Amino acid sequence: MKSPFYTAEHDAFREMMRRFVEKEISPFAHEWDEAGEFPRELYRKAAGIGLLGLGFPEEYGGIAADQFMKIVASQELARAGAGGVSASLMSHTIGSPPIARAARPEVRARVLPQVLSGDKISALAITEPGGGSDVANLATRARRDGDHYVVTGEKTFITSGMRADYLTVAVRTGGEGAGGVSLLLIEGATPGLSRTKLKKMGWWASDTATLHFDQCRVPAENLIGEEGQGFKIIMQNFNSERMGMAAGCTAFARVCLDEAVAYARERKTFGKPLAQHQVIRHKIVDMAQKVAASQAMLEMLAWRLEQGESPVAEICMMKNQATQTMAFCASEAVQIFGGAGFMRGIKAERIYREVKVNAIGGGTEEIMKDLASRQMGL
């Protein structure tokens, strides 16, 4: 669809991304999902087209990118219908921004070039077994001991958790509440760090883990920002994460729509194509309507961010709008496919299994509503 927000530069990047996804991801998406992982070499290939560097400082190998370039990246990746690949391949977009924004210069110079070149993998570790989005009450403890912090605790549901080389970890360095939270960069080879792989409903190709920190000694220079300032950095990170998720979910919904339309034109029942049955046509129009509304809301919010605004309430609502659109379209697509939609291998079936992780990750629908209402002064 034509949009006034995209320039020739955006269009050129879209074409490059589309060719990359069609060659390097789509043909293997089902195989990788069944295997529960994708080749590490994909990170380097993604770095080769500039995908991993989008929005990061150029001095570390990044590429200047506005909100719309990031939308293009998320939505072209989604065309493969493989959320697990997108999640792990792009885990650095939530793991590395705090490093770029607040780590010491020498740490940035050491870590970011390795991540943006695809040689190393970055992940974010906030969620704990005893609490998810309740960041202010996390329990993992980092005790200062000379020129090191000693870290003890657990993190869970960590995307890229099994093979991440750099972990941006939320820890408690002070007292209770948000003021006691800090961020530490912990390297994957740190003694005392162990990992347990988790099996999931969807996102099979994305490695997800529980991390165990047993008296891990972390150099004090790996502190990201100042002690007690971690909560603020995490909240800033959430807005970007939610916009990325909203872009991807809207695109996954469109993939379901496109796949359902193609099938409805080909499949015949009662002597005519499915698409000629009024009930199917109505389902498709309902899907298209929700996708168009979500895309319009997404692009308008991106424009507002480009103007320097910080529409937190609307971003929370956008995430819910996009995940609900994805859920609706995935369900309707599987219904249109009938029995074929219950079989593994088609995009709609895979996306249907991935609906809930998007409605939960980055803040549940309930939390998004509560945050939005507070921003509205309620």
The position carrying tokens 């990992």 is 195
Q: Tell me whether residue 154 is one of the annotated catalytic residues.
A: no
User: Cα dist. 225→61, 115, 146 in Å?
Assistant: 22, 19, 18
316 sits in which H/E element? helix 312-337
Name the catalytic one among 24, 128, 227, 241.
241
Alpha carbon distance 93, 243 (integer Å): 11
Per the CB < 8 A criterion, the answer to whether 104 and 41 are in contact is no
Give the CA count within 13 Å in the CB-facing half-sphere of 285: 8
**CB count, 10 Å around CB of 1?**
7
Neighbour tally for 190: CB within 10 Å: 15
Is 319 exposed, middle or buried, given 0-12, 13-18 or 19+ CB atoms closer than 10 A?
Answer: buried
**Among all residues, which ones are annotated catalytic?**
241
